[in-house]
Every structure is written in structure tokens, then in C-alpha cells.
Amino acid sequence: MTAPNVQQLKRELGIGGATMMGLGSMVGTGVFVSIGIAAGVAGPAVVLAIVIAAVVATFNALSSAQLAASHAVSGGTYEYGYRYLNPSLGFTAGWMFLCAKTASAATAALGFSGYFLRLIGADMALMPWVAVGAAAVFTILVLTGIRRSSLMNIVIVSITLLALGTFILFGLPTALAEGGRHLVPILPVGVNALQALLYATALMFVAYTGYARIATLGEEVKEPKRTIPRAIIVTLIVTAALYIVVAVVAVGGVGADQFANAPGAQATPLELAARTMELPMVAGIVAVGAVTAMLGVLLNLIIGLSRVVLAMGRQGDLPPLFARLSRDGAAPAAAVIVVGGIVAGLAAIGSVETTWAFSAFTVLIYYAITNLAALRLPPDQRMFPRFVPVVGLLACLFLAFWVPVAIWALGLGLIAAGLVFRISVPRLWNRKEDR
């Protein structure tokens, strides 16, 4: 549990700002990249995978909402694990979040750089440098506080939603004309097809998990018991509807094979779909929307990661320096700077290829712990029936089973390494504080 005398961040976000923060985290890499990856796995059944993933995400979102409302501090499931379960599970949640989302933030920076350089016709060899620059600019923005970050996020999300709306509007006639042959069979046939559907569902679940950003910002939300649950639910409904319609238009319009497996499709599937439907102007608008979407993901991940680092600094799992706020209390300055530095470093040496299977495993573990914590809520703090976290927990563990074995090994190895770190290294700075 967080000590009562720690510095507290300012409550700046209302329901509109919190909802837009959630959308900024969710309407990004998921819709512009992962739908194409999942379509390559499951074919037309990707539409069904998106629906199932939305249902699973709903149970997890309700668990997150009631936890954030009852314990409205920065840190998300890291804090809930500490408060309602035990320190090891709390640390595991925070560690999984940091491992997965730091790499995701670097990937978002590289994704932005690639789309941007392609739009302006510049040399793609500049991609790492532009990515580092984007990480630096957004780190500085986050340091100015949540209010300015929220305003920038609203602009970014608005442009992204406009681009996706244009794609849907102009692509729908083709999807209606061609959907009969491209979307059938939408139900999986045979064991292999069922396995592919479940794997695609695990991949698409990752695309919905941005609503956790609202929970990690719990300390900065006005009237958290009212605002957080509403913002999470609204964000999830809007995103699910958008993902389903985009998938139907894209797969229905060009077919799953063309959408997922054509050269360059994995990086820019929606842009390729627009060009295949002979909509070059729409393809350009989609590319602009992808640029803003990647920036939105980068912004929200730096915000969310820094708040988890803040929480871990408060608990002593990271140096106490990261528990300090800026003088005006607007941001956890040291946490933001170290997160921005690591993201920039990974972007400088990293690859644009995303490890979606690893992300799926880590977030499924993260939300399994979320649901466990929700089961421990006192009856007077529960907002939803007890079966909600039970279904969420079982669904997370079931979907994690369909991730490749190599990813299991990597994920479990990282958990073990993190727990060894927690047992040994923090003693160094804890001893220094005791002197």
C-alpha cells in the first residue's frame, strides 16, 4: 500500500479527457497493424476473433474499473496487486507491464517514423533518428503535466478517428459488393481453424488493453469513483464497434489473404486495403491517420509507463528518486525522463517488427492478476457481481494457453528474472535510506 504522506499528482482529467486518453491508447497500433496480423492467422474469422476479444476485454475492463474506483492511485494493477493480493503478484504485474509496454512504445515511435518518412518521400535510413526525436519531444510534453498531454491527445485522436471514418465511409460500398465471397466462411471449420481463431483472439485482446491507461492515471482523474468506470466502458464500446466495422470493411473489401499477406501488408494493412479498393486519396488519409495514431500510442505509453515507475518507486521496488514529483506536482519528472530515455534508446537500436505474441502473453498475465485482485475487493467496494472477475480470470488464462510455447518460456523467464531482481537489488537503496 502506498504511504499516506507521499506527494500526490493533481486531479486534472474529467470523463471526456479520460475517455480520450483511453481511445488514444486503443485506437492505434491495434487497428492499423494487429487486425492485419490476426487476419493472416484466422482469415475471415478475424471478425469473430475481434468480437470474442471484445467480450473478454469487457470483463477485464469491469474488474479494472471497480479496482481503480476503489483505489484511485497511479500504478494500475501493480498497486492493486500490492493492496489486495501480495507484493510478489503486484510486482509481477508491474514488471510485465514495463517489459511489454516499453518495447511497444519504441515500436510506436518507429511506426510513426516509418509512416512519416514514407509520406514525405524521405530516406527510410533516417527512421531511427526520427523515432528518437519523437520520443524526446513527447517526453518533454509529458513533463509539462497531464493537462497539456490531454489536449495534445485529443487532437491526435480526433485526426485518427477522422481517417478511420473516411476509410469506412468510402470502403463500405466495395465491402458490401464483395463481402459475400470474402467473409465466408466466417466460422472456423476443423481443429486447426479453431486454434487459429483462439490465437487470433489472444492477439486482438492486446489491441483492447489500452483502457488500462485510464486506471493507471487514477490519481489524476476527478471524481474517480464516477469518472473511471464510465470512461473505461465508453472507451471499450467505441473501440470495439470501430474495430469490428474496420475489419468487416477491410476483409470484406479485399479478402483476408490480400489484406494480411500482400507485400508490405503487415506494416500498413489498411493503407494497402484502400489502394487495392482503388481509393488512393483514402489511402493517403489513412496514412496520415496512422501517423497520428502511432503518436497517440507513444504519448499514452510514456504517460502510463511513467506512472507505473512512479508507483514502483513509492513501494521501494525501484529507487526512491522515481517517487518524486516535479515542483508543481504536475508530473513524476524522474520517472518520465527515464522512461523517455529507455524508449528512445530502444527506438535507436530496435526494429519496427512487433512481437505481438509476447505482448499477448504479458498482458494476459497482467489482467489475470487484475481479476484476482478484483476478487479480493470487500463487498462494500464491489460495483459488479463476483462472476465478472471470475470469467475475466478464466478467459485470460485460457487465451494465454494458445500463445506459442516459445513465448511462454520467454515470458516465464522474464517473470523469474524480475522476481530475483525484486528480492536482491532493492536492498541496496533501502539500506542507503536507512543510514
Q: What pLDDT does 106 receive?
A: 81
The Cα–Cα gap between 156 and 150 comes to 10
Q: How far apart are CA 375 and CA 392, in angstroms?
A: 10
Q: What is the pTM of this model?
A: 0.78
Give Rg (Cα) of the chain.
21
Are 163 and 282 in contact by the 8 Å Cβ rule? The answer is no
Distance CA 78, CA 370 (A): 9
CA distance 367 to 205: 11
Cα gap 73→13, rounded to integer Å: 13
Q: What is the pLDDT of residue 435?
A: 41
> What SS3 state is found at 74?
strand
Q: What is the pLDDT along the chain (435 residues), one digit of tens a residue?
A: 444 455 666 676 777 777 877 787 778 777 887 788 788 888 888 899 999 999 998 898 888 888 877 776 666 788 888 888 888 888 888 888 888 788 778 878 887 887 788 778 788 788 889 989 999 998 988 887 766 767 777 888 888 889 999 999 999 998 888 877 888 777 766 667 888 888 888 888 888 877 766 766 666 777 777 777 888 888 888 888 999 999 999 888 888 877 776 555 555 678 888 888 888 888 889 888 888 888 888 888 888 888 888 888 888 888 888 888 776 666 788 888 999 998 888 888 765 444 556 777 888 888 899 999 999 988 888 888 899 999 999 999 898 878 777 777 888 888 888 888 888 766 556 554 544
What is the model's pLDDT at position 353?
47
* Structural domains in the chain plus CATH codes: 15-423 (1.20.1740.10)
